[in-house]
């Protein structure tokens, strides 16, 4: 992660890394999703994400699908490769530190035209959340839970999808409800437009959410929530399902280690995603 990228992440709480996946990698992901599309669950009723917002509501719910890492080969492969992808490891080392780990099981967000948005949320002030935080100390940033969102379809300006309030990871006051609902001060909320193959990395501390999807094509974003090596938000690692671990490379397996100190013989990757010699 170069100095400009660090500046932008520190300033905004997120960064878009363009063109991490090749068109072929994007196609492999989309083909795997198409094969499993019956597993996409559209949210209804109590699972709705737009609450009583008048501007985030939609005609249908957001589609979610988990289990990507446990699919049969070859369908799981392009998603497993995301764990230690040479295009993102150096960013995760700068943002989370060496020994970063997968926290939540990987999941797909899919939205079709009319899908509702998601109330803005985030973990900056007024309290300190020891699992989802952004702090700067000893000349570097430290982040808790951090999202790596792999874009598998274009999100053009005006399409909707991921949005956030740049800089809000350093906020001290609670985000007012009318802003969380995208009903007031909409000018401070930025839709993150990006192309298939780009990766958006954002700290869970930044106030973020989802705008209703307006495009004709389906939104597809694969979310990997990562934590520093010493930290867990959820207990999904205890244990990871056998089908998730089966036939993983040592590099991928390293990212599924449970939380513990990096100095205790934790397998660690180099910046290119290869296992480091001890």
Only one of the segments 207-215, 227-235, 238-246, 256-264 lies at the binding site for ligand AKG (rule: CB under 6 A); that segment is 207-215
CA distance readout (Å), 25 to 22, 96, 115, 150:
5, 25, 26, 11
Q: Please pick, from the candidates 109, 165, 179, 232, the single residue that binds ligand AKG as defined by CB under 6 A.
A: 109
Q: Please pick, from the candidates 221, 224, 231, 237, the single residue that binds ligand AKG as defined by CB under 6 A.
A: 221
Closer residue to ligand AKG in complex, CB, 111/244: 111
Tell me if 28 contacts ligand AKG by CB under 6 A.
no
b/e burial code for range 56-81 (CB count within 10 A of at least 16 → b): bbbebbbbbbebbbbbeeebbbbbbb
Tell me if 194 contacts ligand AKG by CB under 6 A.
no
Tell me if 152 contacts ligand AKG by CB under 6 A.
no
Closer residue to ligand AKG in complex, CB, 99/212: 212
For residue 58, which of 187, 195, 210 has the smallest C-alpha distance? 210
For residue 133, which of 176, 96, 180, 173 has the smallest C-alpha distance? 96
The burial class, CB within 10 Å (0-12 / 13-18 / 19+), for 191 is: middle
Sheet containing 208-211: give its strands across.
Answer: 118-121, 208-211, 161-164, 190-191
Shortest Cβ distance from residue 9 to ligand AKG (Å)? 17
Shortest Cβ distance from residue 171 to ligand AKG (Å)? 16
Interaction mask 111-140, ligand AKG, x per CB under 6 A: -------x----------------------
Shortest Cβ distance from residue 234 to ligand AKG (Å)? 13
Cβ–Cβ under 8 Å, residues 190 and 202: no
Tell me if 199 contacts ligand AKG by CB under 6 A.
no
Shortest Cβ distance from residue 257 to ligand AKG (Å)? 24
- What is d(CA 233, CA 22) in angstroms, rounded to the nearest whole number? 31
Cβ–Cβ under 8 Å, residues 10 and 95: no
**Residues in the site for ligand AKG, rule: CB under 6 A?**
109, 118, 149, 161-162, 208-210, 221
């Amino acid at each position: 992660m170069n100095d400009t990228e660090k500046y932008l992440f520190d300033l905004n709480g997120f960064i878009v890394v363009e063109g991490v996946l090749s068109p072929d990698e994007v196609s492999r992901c989309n083909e795997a999703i198409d094969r499993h599309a019956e597993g996409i669950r559209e949210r209804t009723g109590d699972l709705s994400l737009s609450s009583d917002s008048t501007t985030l509501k939609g005609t249908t719910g957001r589609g979610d699908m988990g289990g990507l890492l446990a699919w049969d080969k070859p369908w799981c492969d392009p998603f497993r490769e995301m764990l230690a992808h040479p295009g993102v490891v150096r960013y995760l080392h700068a943002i989370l530190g060496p020994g970063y780990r997968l926290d939540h099981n990987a999941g797909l967000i899919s939205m079709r035209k009319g899908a509702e948005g998601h109330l803005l949320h985030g973990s900056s002030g007024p309290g300190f959340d020891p699992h989802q935080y952004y702090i700067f100390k000893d000349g570097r940033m430290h982040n808790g839970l951090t999202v790596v969102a792999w874009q598998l379809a274009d999100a053009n300006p005006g399409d909707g999808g991921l949005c956030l309030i740049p800089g809000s990871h350093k906020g001290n006051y609670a985000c007012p409800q009318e802003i969380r609902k995208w009903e007031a001060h909409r000018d401070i909320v930025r839709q993150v437009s990006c192309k298939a193959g780009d990766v958006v990395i954002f700290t869970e501390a930044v106030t973020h959410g989802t705008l209703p999807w307006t495009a004709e094509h389906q939104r597809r974003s694969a979310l990997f929530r990562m934590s520093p090596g010493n930290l867990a938000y959820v207990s999904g690692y205890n244990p990871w399902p056998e089908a998730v671990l089966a036939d993983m490379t040592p590099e991928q397996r390293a990212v599924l280690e449970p939380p513990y100190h990096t100095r205790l013989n934790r397998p660690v990757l180099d910046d290119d995603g290869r296992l480091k010699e001890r």
